[in-house]
């Protein structure tokens, strides 16, 4: 199908973009177009005007310091994936981005666009929520910071107002003693996941003192679950098989896996269980290799 007729604006300043969005409640931001354009073509979205943000200055940078990684709204998945500084400070970015779509889509699609698109099956909203990252948002009314955990409020629904432009996302660095893991199952490499899990474990004095996991493609929004209660109390500081299985039980109690044409509810629950054990082990190994 072809899109319905749609207007097109290519502002050259953020102020101009914000004004265009404020003046027209049916206008929509266009970033990489890798999600929006298919929706237009299938006529599942019919905005009055596309406000193309690709000519806005200053939004295409990745800034890395010891506190974290700031990703501008025009940074493509492929650029962030290839960024060695970002991978050093927060390895989960590269782990997860390597599962985002196929190379041509990563060359054009933006990481911030993926966050705002709010697909529960996307990798990066789950990563942002797990790490406690944030999104910087600008409108004619001013600037605000949205916590990753508050960004996705429903299927393909973010907490941004129609007139807001996300200008960057910030992912915290891996702290001392922390390790991360990521795994997903999809029908083919690059497809959306049937189920994916990202985990963060922190070890201190030979024990696990922080453990949580974020789930994608399981619930209607990315879900972060605190798994420390299941891993805590091991005298050797070692998450053994029984504790890892208890962590998976704890996770499942907080999730509501849905069935669809790709996977039944039971299969998704099974994947969530298996992947929880796998990524917790990976994150724990990573934390040990980093010195705890
Ligand atoms: P666009 O398509 O331009 O916009 C998407 C939505 O976000 C629109 O509603 C738009 O208005 C809004 N938006 C975008 N940027 C901003 C901004 N800065 N401020 C305010 N609103 C904004 N993604 C995955 O995560 N995992 C996958 O496995 C995956 N597989 C894919 C497979 C295929 C075949 C395709 C076509 C896409 C796939 N994607 C996948 C989606 C891809 O990652 C997109 O790049 C991403 O979802 C959206 O980024 P974009 O820059 O293309 O945004």
Ligand 1 atom with the smallest distance to the CA of 109 is 45
**Mutate which of 29, 37, 40, 160 for ligand 1 pocket (most atoms within 8 A of beta carbon):** 29
Choose the final residue of a domain: 133, 157, 174.
174
122 and 28: one domain? Answer: yes
Q: Give counts: helices (H), strands (E), the chain.
A: 11, 14
> If residue 196 lies in a helix (H) or strand (E), which one and from where to where?
strand 195-204
To the nearest 10°, report the CA torsion of 11, 12, 15, 21: 10
The per-residue pLDDT for range 59-113, each reduced to its tens digit, is 999 999 999 999 999 999 999 999 999 999 999 999 999 999 999 999 999 999 9
Listed residue (292, 286, 277, 274) closest to 94, CA to CA: 286
Domain range for 257 is 178-289
* 152: enclosing H helix or E strand: strand 152-154
CA of 23 to the centre of ligand 1 (A): 24
One domain for residues 145 and 227: no
Mark whether 207 and 160 lie in a shared domain: no
Select from 190, 168, 170, 214 the least CA-distant residue to 78.
190
Q: Mean of the pLDDT values across residues 202-223?
A: 95
d(CA 234, CA 102): 41
pLDDT at 13 over 80: yes
Q: Is 101 left (phi over 0), alpha (psi -120 to 50) or beta?
A: left
Torsion, CA 53, CA 99, CA 196, CA 231, rounded to 10: -110
How far apart are the C-alpha atoms of 174 and 88, rounded to whole Å? 9
Q: Are 220 and 152 in contact (CB under 8 A)?
A: no
Whether pTM > 0.90 for this model: the answer is: yes
Averaged pLDDT, 150-170: 97
Is the CB of 117 inside a 6 Å radius of any atom of ligand 1?
A: yes
Write the CATH number for 25.
3.30.465.10
pLDDT at position 128 is: 98
Rounded CA separation 128/214 (Å): 9
Do 139 and 161 share a domain, yes or no? yes
Same domain, residue pair 103 and 140: yes
């Amino acid at each position: 199908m072809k899109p319905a007729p749609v207007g097109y604006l290519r502002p050259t300043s953020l102020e101009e973009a914000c004004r265009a969005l404020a003046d027209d409640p049916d206008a929509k931001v266009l970033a990489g177009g890798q999600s929006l354009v298919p929706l237009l073509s299938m006529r599942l979205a019919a905005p009055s005007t596309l406000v193309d943000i690709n000519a806005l200055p200053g939004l295409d940078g990745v800034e890395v310091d010891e506190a974290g990684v700031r990703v501008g709204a025009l940074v493509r998945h492929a650029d962030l994936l290839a960024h060695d500084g970002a991978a050093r400070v927060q390895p989960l970015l590269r782990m997860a981005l390597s599962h985002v779509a196929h190379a041509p889509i990563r060359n054009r699609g933006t990481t911030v666009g993926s966050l705002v698109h709010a697909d529960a099956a996307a990798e990066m909203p789950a990563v942002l929520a797990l790490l406690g990252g944030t999104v910087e948002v600008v409108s004619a009314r001013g600037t605000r910071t949205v916590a990753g955990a508050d960004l996705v409020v429903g299927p393909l629904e973010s907490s941004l107002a129609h007139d807001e432009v996300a200008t960057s996302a910030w992912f915290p660095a891996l702290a001392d003693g922390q390790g991360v893991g990521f795994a997903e199952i999809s029908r083919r490499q690059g497809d959306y996941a049937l189920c994916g899990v990202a985990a963060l474990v922190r070890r201190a004095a030979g024990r696990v003192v922080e453990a949580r996991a974020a789930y994608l493609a399981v619930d209607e929004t990315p879900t972060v679950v605190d798994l420390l209660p299941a891993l805590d109390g091991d005298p050797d500081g070692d998450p053994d098989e029984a504790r890892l299985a208890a962590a998976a039980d704890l996770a499942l109690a907080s999730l509501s896996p849905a069935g669809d044409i790709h996977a039944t509810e039971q299969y998704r629950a099974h994947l969530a269980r298996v992947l929880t054990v796998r990524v917790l082990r990976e994150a724990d190994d990573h934390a040990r290799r980093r010195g705890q």
